[in-house]
Structure formats: C-alpha cells, structure tokens
Chains A and B, each alone.
Chain A
Amino acid sequence: MIITKKRDFQELMENIKNYRSFFLIGCSECASLCGTGNQEAIDALTEALKAEGKEVTGGFVAKTGCQVLGTKIELKPFKDALDKTECILIMSCGAGTQAAVEIFEDKPVYATNDSLFLGNMTRFQMFDERCSLCGKCILDKTGGICPVTACPKGILNGPCGGCKDGKCEVSPDIKCAWVRIYERMKRLDRLQELCDNALEAKDWSMSIKPRTLVARPEKKEEKKK
C-alpha cells in the first residue's frame, strides 16, 4: 500500500491560508490503514479547522480515492456541499490528490498528507518499505527479499563493507539486506544459486517516468491508432 503521513498542521494552515471553506475527502484504502484518511482523521481535521475559524462544508471517505471515475460518481450526493466550498482537501496519497485535480477543474485542491513509500503494515500503523516499483522484479533470484529496496545502495550482488554484525552501515536499526537474503537462501538450500549467479546491472529504462499501463488488449490497439 501507499504509506502516507499527516502534514504538519501549521504547514497545512500556511498552504490554505487564502481559503475559508473546505470539503474533505479521505480514502478507505491505504490512507485509512495509515490513519491519515479514515473517518476519524476527517473528524479530527474538521475540528481543528473549525478551531482556526474555518468552515467545513462536508466530507466523506472515498472508496478508492485514486480511482477517478468511481470517486466522481461517489461525489454526486455531495453536490451542495461541494458548490459551497472554496477549496478541496485531499486526505490520501499524491495519486488521490491528482485524481481530485482531474475531477475539480475549477477548484483548488490541497493535500493534507505527504506520500512516503510503497510498504507493508508490519504491526498496527507501523510500516516498512518493501518495493521500489522498479519495473523488473528480481525477487525470484534473491529469495523473495528485494535488495533494490532493502539495501540503501540497492546492491545486487552481496553485502558492502559497511555491514557490521549483520547491520547496515546507514543505520543499526536496519538489518543488512544481503545478510537477510543469504540467511533465507541458506534456509531454502539455495546458496549455490546465490554464488553462481551474479546479477547484471538493472535496466532503469523500465522505470522512466511517467509510466502508463493499458491492461485491456482492445484499448491497447486503440491507443496505438
């Protein structure tokens, strides 16, 4: 999921200082699990804005805030509140914010969160980055642990000289990705594979931005034309 973090309130207030009324849109997916876009987060921000003398015309938790058409349909019942507001506040990720920009052509849209990374929830509201979306997965060669993400240097062929007692040179809180890979491959009796295969340099052309994907064959043809 996309991990988000609530922006500092003073920073948010500075960004929206020119507006008086707001409509708040959360998201039931990642941002709810992060506690940045669920109903409780909307209620808390509503109270905080009112305390600053602002007006909140309404708010709701979108099912999937990054899904443009679905969110647009979900917003229909809120027409009055939306007409009344000067500004839209998005309480999900950067994708959710930009879905709203597409939906609200004539209204300013502001983000209440910073988008951090693609990660896993390891405990309640504790998150670890696990995937860099590099475009060409090598997990099948590294025992299912991603060195592109788990190693701060993204090294593909073993630990660097900075590994100290199995910990990363960047922080003793991080276990060396390559020690983890080594231990897992050893447990799976696949060490030989690790020794024999030096991984080649990554093809970074797989992650040139902005990326698009058309997963429907008929649409693919349409796009080509």
Chain B
Amino acid sequence: MSFKDILNSGKFVVTAEVGPPKGTDIKEMIHHIELLKGKVDALNVTDNQSAVMRICSMAVCKIVLEHDVEPILQMTCRDRNRIGLQSDLLGANILGIRNVLCMTGDHVLAGDHKQAKPVYDIESVQLLSVVNSLNNGKDMAGNDLKGATDFFQGAVVTPEANPLEPQLIKFEKKVRAGAKFFQTQAIYDINKFKEFMSYARKFSVKILAGIVVLKSAGMASFINNNVPGIRVPQELIDELKAAGKEKALDTGLNIAARHIRQLKDENICDGVHIMAIGMEDKVPIIMERAGLL
C-alpha cells in the first residue's frame, strides 16, 4: 500500500527521515534505511537541510525506493528557480517518487555556503500550487504536459509558532493550495498540540506530529533558546535533569515514546514524523516502547 493509501486508511502513520551525507560515502545512510525498512510507512529525504550542501534529495529518494521503502521528497525553493523545481518534479515522478513535501527552505545564511545567491523565485504556498498544476497536466506557465504527474503533496506547519496566527493563516493557504498532509515542527506539549489539532481538524488534511528526541536537559534548554517554533515545557527539562547524565538519553526516548502513545491512543492526530537527527538507530526503540512494533 502506498503512503497515501495508508494515511487515508486511517492507520496511525509513522514517518522518519534520512539526511543525505556530504560526500559519496553512503554506507551509513544505507544502513539507516535498512534499519527503518518495514518499520516506518515512509522516509523523508531532506533537501540540503539547514542550507548545508549535501547529496540531493532526489538521488537518495531513488535509493530509498530501491530498498523498498517509500520516500517523501523534501523540496525547498532556496536553490532552484521555477524551471528547476518543475523539471526536478517531473524527473522525480518518472523515477517513481510519489510524495513531495513543499517548503520554502532555510536561508543560505544558516548553512555552509553563506556567499551563495538564495533563489526563492517562488515559496512553499506557490510550490504546492505548482505540484497541483503538474498533477493536472499543466506547468506553471499554463503549457500542457505530455503526461501529468501523480504526486501526493504535503507541507509543514509550526503549531507552537510565536506569534501563532500569521502561521495559521499560512497553514490555511497551504491547504487551499493543495496540501494533503502536514508534518509539524517538533511538539512537546501535548495539551497545546491538542488545541492546534482542534483547529486543524476543521480541514480535511492529515497531520503528522513532529517528534524530536531530547538527548539531555542541556539540549532542551538549547532548543528553547535557539530553535524557532519549538518549546520544551519545564516539566520535561526537570524530568531529564532528574534522570542524570547517564540516563538522560533513555529518558528522552521514553518521553518520545510516551508522547507517541498518547497521540495514538487519544486519536489526537493521524501519525507522527520522527526526526532522529543522527540517531536513526533509536527510531525502532522509540517505536517499540510506543507499542507500534
């Protein structure tokens, strides 16, 4: 069953992600793909994440497919203009890639090529419209395609953005532009997330809650001080502190598993997107503890 069919079937979906490496040695990446095969419903492949130059998302999506895992092609507008984006979308489609996650993309100043010219010819809302249009057999300029694409397109949303309302206005624009599913920025406060979901449920889109494992109390504080749109509640920081250095990571895995279990048991959202950020080997452990394996 495809990712789209699984999501539409009502099953609680789990996605994870693979970050392409910088360089051509892909042994570790393949190991991660093999590790997650048969466990997750789809694997996101990031697009030069944090504006750091790496292997392109499309090539890695093809490798993911070859390992019988369904890829979600992350596509940002930072590095390609509308010609490049559409051309890559057509290319991805003929390679068998069916899921695309449309994003604007971190600014080049966040990455390792700060002198690069950022493109941003279009942005996330417009990219969703473009995918919609390609699915309907037309390119962005209105020209007919010889063969339409059949993408299942998604987008991202930050439920804990501050201020929230401008973010929600954009969320609604993304829904109207054709987004079928959303993967959220990491969430840690389930009650606050429930408030977001009671709003988001007004729209017929699928929502996958973002899960990022906390490795330590220090990491949690760092996130609160530096990462936009994520807020770790003090209780969780205290819980990690109380666990001590030795057991902090294990506690972080427990917190992630506990949140996933609650999201599923209380039917709060349609699934989770686990961003392991270098700890892909821990994803099966979290899933096991959440009762998903």
Contact = CB atoms under 8 A, between A and B. Distances in A.
Interface string B105-142: 11101100000001011111110010000000000100
Contact of A194 (B120, B129, B140, B169): B169
A164 B110 CA distance: 14
Interface residues of B, number: 37
A162 interface: yes
A163 B177 contact: no
Contact of A169 (B82, B110, B118, B120): B110
Interface in A178-211: 178-179, 181-182, 191, 194-195, 198, 200-202, 204
A91 to B, nearest CB: 29
B49 to A, nearest CB: 13
A110 to B, nearest CB: 26
A163 B166 CA distance: 10
Contact of A154 (B120, B162, B229): B120
B166 A156 contact: no
Nearest to B122: A201
Given A153-B118, A166-B163, A161 B228 contact: yes
B170 interface: yes
A158 interface: yes
A155 interface: yes
B170 A158 contact: yes
B173 A201 contact: no
A162 to B, nearest CB: 5
Given A157-B125, A163-B228, A169 B185 contact: no
B107 A169 contact: yes
A165 interface: yes
A159 interface: yes
A81 interface: no
Interface in A55-77: none
A203 B106 CA distance: 23
A48 interface: no
B172 A195 contact: yes
A159 B125 CA distance: 11
A170 interface: yes
A155 B163 contact: no
Given A169-B106, A170-B107, A161 B121 contact: no
A108 interface: no
A175 B138 CA distance: 38
Interface in B149-166: 156, 158, 161-163, 165-166
Residue among B126, B129, B158 with the highest chain A CB neighbour number at 10 A: B126
Nearest to B106: A162
Given A159-B161, A198-B177, A204-B121, A153 B166 contact: no
B140 A159 contact: no
Q: Range of interface residues on chain A?
A: 20 to 34
Contacts of A179: 163, 166
Interface in A4-61: none
A152 interface: yes
Given A195-B169, A201-B140, A156 B126 contact: yes
A160 interface: yes
B104 interface: yes
Contact of A198 (B103, B104, B107, B173): B173
A161 B166 contact: no
B113 to A, nearest CB: 15
A153 B124 CA distance: 11
B176 interface: yes
Given A169-B110, A182-B166, A157 B123 contact: yes
B166 A200 contact: no
B167 interface: yes
A201 B123 CA distance: 8
Contacts of A169: 106-107, 110, 228
A163 B118 contact: no
Given A159-B167, A179-B166, A198-B129, 16 more contacts: A153-B104, A153-B105, A158-B125, A161-B161, A162-B228, A163-B166, A166-B162, A169-B107, A169-B110, A169-B228, A179-B163, A182-B163, A182-B169, A194-B169, A198-B173, A201-B140
Interface of B: 78, 82, 103-107, 109-110, 118, 120-126, 129, 140, 156, 158, 161-163, 165-167, 169-170, 172-173, 176-177, 185, 227-229
30 contacts: A153-B104, A153-B107, A153-B123, A154-B120, A154-B123, A155-B104, A157-B123, A157-B170, A157-B173, A158-B170, A158-B173, A159-B161, A159-B167, A159-B170, A160-B124, A161-B156, A161-B185, A162-B228, A163-B161, A163-B228, A164-B227, A170-B107, A182-B163, A182-B169, A195-B169, A198-B125, A198-B129, A198-B176, A201-B121, A204-B121
